[in-house]
Structure 1
Amino acid sequence: MPTDRLVPVLATALLLAAPTHAQDAAAPEATTENDFALACAFDRECYDAEACAETAYEMTVSGRVGGMGAGVVLARATLSAVSGDVEVFGTLGGGTLFLQGGEGAARHYLAVTDGAARYSLHMAEGPVAITYLGACE
């Protein structure tokens, strides 16, 4: 699903609320029109300064948008891949979803515009950066 279809009706002022751990354990949150899910497939991997190579890296993105403003909303999501889950936050506006997050010595960044996606992982050790190019639907 292209990200421009993820923009909720902006006439309603919505606040993005992070659930507490107690709420998570008690019951799952209800699905709303502000929830979104993307399946991402990356076919190019660029490891630091080395040449890019083919890959078959995949992840899913599930989250919720909200907030208020003229065309830009806040986004909170989870990136899920074989390496684990990462909580991220960012914005959705002008047809582009920007997400960032991570903890410890690694940071994750995802940008999706019209289905085209770039995901990068930046690690303090090295330091090293890995970039993936592909698409999210």
Structure 2
Amino acid sequence: MLKDVFVVAATSFVALPALAQTCAFTMECYETEACQDTSFALTAELDDSKLVTDFGDLTVVGVKRDAPLITVFATGEGAEYLLSRNGDTARFTAHSNDGPTAITYLGTCEGEF
């Protein structure tokens, strides 16, 4: 009996894998201009409070879960960011502090957090 308790206690401290989402965006829309094809990706690592992008890591400042919508708020140098996911459909917007201006990316996300 004591051995069973020890095994349960020892295995309950095993680290769980970090959950992440990988998002791929294929459409970029700048302000009111026509949207264009693009190839942009990011990984949402909420355990580490960051969005990993090709242009650098962004700091996650908040997450709102209102099923089925998940919204991630992030900040980075010179802009604020919003990642919204509903099922596999995703939208990522960058709101520049210079202007203001906004760029919207449309795509999909895989994985869970």
TM range (shorter): 0.7 to 0.9
Is 1:87 aligned to residue 70 of structure 2? no
Is 1:102 aligned to residue 86 of structure 2? no
Structure number having the greater strand percentage: 2
Paired with 1:82 and 1:45, the residues of 2 have a C-alpha distance of 15
How much has 1:63 moved relative to structure 2? Answer: 1.5
Q: Which has the larger radius of gyration?
A: 2
How much has 1:103 moved relative to structure 2? Answer: 4.4
How much has 1:41 moved relative to structure 2? Answer: 0.4
The 5-angstrom pairing of residues 1-137 of structure 1 reads 31-32=15-16, 35-64=18-47, 77-88=49-60, 89-137=62-110
Q: Does the Cα contact within 8 Å between 2:51 and 2:74 map onto a contact in 1? A: no
Q: What TM-score does the superposition give when structure 2 sets the normalisation length?
A: 0.76
How much has 1:92 moved relative to structure 2? Answer: 2.2
Q: Which moved more, 1:42-51 or 1:88-97?
A: 88-97
Question: Structure 1, unaligned stretches of length 5 or more?
Answer: 1-29, 65-75
Q: Does the Cα contact within 8 Å between 2:64 and 2:72 map onto a contact in 1? A: yes
Paired with 1:133 and 1:77, the residues of 2 have a C-alpha distance of 22
- Structure 1 moving runs of 4+ over 4 Å: none
What's the % identity of the aligned pairs?
Answer: 32
Question: For 1:47-103, what per-residue CA distance to the aligned partner results, in whole angstroms no more than 9, with x for missing partners?
Answer: 111110000111111114xxxxxxxxxxx7311111100111212231221011214
Secondary structure at the aligned position of 1:49 is classed as coil
